[in-house]
Amino acid sequence: MQSLKFSFLKSIAPLLFFANLAVVFSFWLSVSLRVSNLLISLGTLAGLLAAYFALWQLLLIGRVAWIERFWGHDKLSRIHHFLGITTVSVIFFHPILLVLGYSIDSGEAPLSHFLGLLSDYKYILALIAYLLLLSIVFISLWIIRKHLKYEIWYFIHIALYLAIILAFIHQKSGRDFITDLRALYWQALFYLTLANIIYYRFLKPLWQSLNCAFQVVEVKKENDDVVSIIIGGENLEKLEAKAGQFMIFRFLAKNFWRETHPFSLSEAPSGGRLRITIKGIGDFTKKISNLPLGTRVLVEGPLGLFIPERSNKKSSLLIAGGIGITPLRSIFEEFAKTGHAVDLIYSARAERDFVLKNELNLLSNPNAKVHYIETDKTGILTSDIIKKMIPDIIERDVFLCGPPLMMKSVISELKKVGVSKRFIYFERFQLG
């Protein structure tokens, strides 16, 4: 059951967002009263909003625990995406409106006014920030992104930090915010955001990894494509990791240390060890079985809100597709332990693809049942199959994890049997 404290904490981030947005609007009103034309007024508003939204964008991708913990990475990704488009839409108009507005005031041609600005290095920095932001959004368009390697897309995306620092230098030198309380406010926002990023993205993971001394203690082949990695360490209880959550791992071994990758905990964390179970699908995951024992591990997280505590009903249904079993395996274990009634529908193409089957069978009991579906034989999961297996489906909440197409189809089948989207929790194996 979600607690009152949880609901309160969940509303902190939106409250902060809207309260500060109101402050930003009040700044704009105070500036607007003094400017000579509407174009300058709107251009100023666009600049203020873009600067404000860009700081939130950093917080949203910064794995900041007080935001991540209460929204979950899936919702965060969607907010990040939506706010990204909004930010770029407003930033696009900021220089255009201001150049037009000030050139009307001065009687100068817009182009010569614009070129005149470029004699000041701060406007050159602003132009670089502007072009960087537009390029990042262009590259993030799905049609472009799907042709890029994840790592390349990621490093280009990281240029957002640079764009925001350049924009901040430009903003600090702006005509309206050089001195007074408003300047202090912006600086406070900027430095608080920076402090959050440095702490959550760099210091906390480093400190945590040193304190817990994570290292690989076992590499276990589950089948031809899937490997489990068991990571031992000290003080693991201090992580407060929950079943269903994921972490971002950097393995400090030759050929592995350059990349970080997210993986869900495939076992409810306990007894001084963490376990992840990985399917080989690309460069990194296909070589993971070669990871040497004793490899030190840097860990970010635990992250995500795909956790048993989300359940609001007396019983739950878990639906896993393929390697999507990993977070659900640990959630199933947690429910089975606490006596919460649960059914797990585990669908995979064929018998050999049911990884972790033995342990699921061992965990099951009359209150916690597992149903296996071989899609090569029975076809995909339909509303009829779901209803036949779980006649009281409408009384349950549903936890879902699997390949994107399977999740989309299952969500629409669940809606057909009357399950509200509000009671479907899902984890997508994709960041950003």
Ligand X SMILES: Cc1cc2nc3c(=O)[nH]c(=O)nc-3n(C[C@H](O)[C@H](O)[C@H](O)COP(=O)(O)OP(=O)(O)OC[C@H]3O[C@@H](n4cnc5c(N)ncnc54)[C@H](O)[C@@H]3O)c2cc1C
Q: What's the rounded Cα separation, in Å, for the pair 400 and 407?
A: 7
Residue 41: how many CB atoms within 10 A of its CB? 20
Q: What's the rounded Cα separation, in Å, for the pair 127 and 353?
A: 52
Query: What 3-state DSSP class applies to 366?
Result: coil
Element (H, E) at 432: none
Q: What's the rounded Cα separation, in Å, for the pair 167 and 161?
A: 10
Q: Determine the interface stretch with ligand X among 107-115, 161-169, 228-236, 281-289 (rule: CB under 6 A).
A: 281-289
Are 208 and 248 in contact by the 8 Å Cβ rule? The answer is no
* Tokens, residue 210: 């040193």
Binding mask 236-255 for ligand X (x = CB under 6 A): ----------x---------
- Among residues 69, 170, 242, 279, which is the contact residue for ligand X, using CB under 6 A? 279
Interface with ligand X, residue 116, by CB under 6 A: no
Scanning the structure block, which residue is given the tokens 């209460």? 70
**Do β-strands 397-401 and 315-321 pair in parallel, antiparallel, or remain unpaired?**
parallel
Closest CA to 228 of 182, 188, 276, 273: 276
Closest contact distance (angstroms) between CB of 285 and ligand X is 3
Closest contact distance (angstroms) between CB of 270 and ligand X is 18
Nearer to ligand X, 174 or 403 (CB): 403
- Among residues 103, 264, 295, 311, which is the contact residue for ligand X, using CB under 6 A? 264
Nearer to ligand X, 130 or 251 (CB): 251
Q: What's the rounded Cα separation, in Å, for the pair 4 and 10?
A: 10
Interface with ligand X, residue 289, by CB under 6 A: no
Interface with ligand X, residue 140, by CB under 6 A: no
Closest contact distance (angstroms) between CB of 95 and ligand X is 34
Q: Determine the interface stretch with ligand X among 123-131, 186-194, 259-267, 360-368 (rule: CB under 6 A).
A: 259-267
Q: Determine the interface stretch with ligand X among 189-197, 349-357, 410-418, 424-432 (rule: CB under 6 A).
A: 424-432
Q: Determine the interface stretch with ligand X among 1-9, 271-279, 346-354, 373-381 (rule: CB under 6 A).
A: 271-279
Nearer to ligand X, 28 or 426 (CB): 426
Scanning the structure block, which residue is given the tokens 């929204």? 71
Closest contact distance (angstroms) between CB of 364 and ligand X is 21
* Tokens, residue 82: 């939506």
DSSP 57-78: HHHHHTT-HHHHHHHHHHHHHH
Binding mask 310-329 for ligand X (x = CB under 6 A): -------------x--x---
Q: What's the rounded Cα separation, in Å, for the pair 69 and 401?
A: 19
Can you give the binding site for ligand X, defined by CB under 6 A?
Answer: 150, 246, 259-264, 276-279, 281-285, 323, 326, 427, 429-431
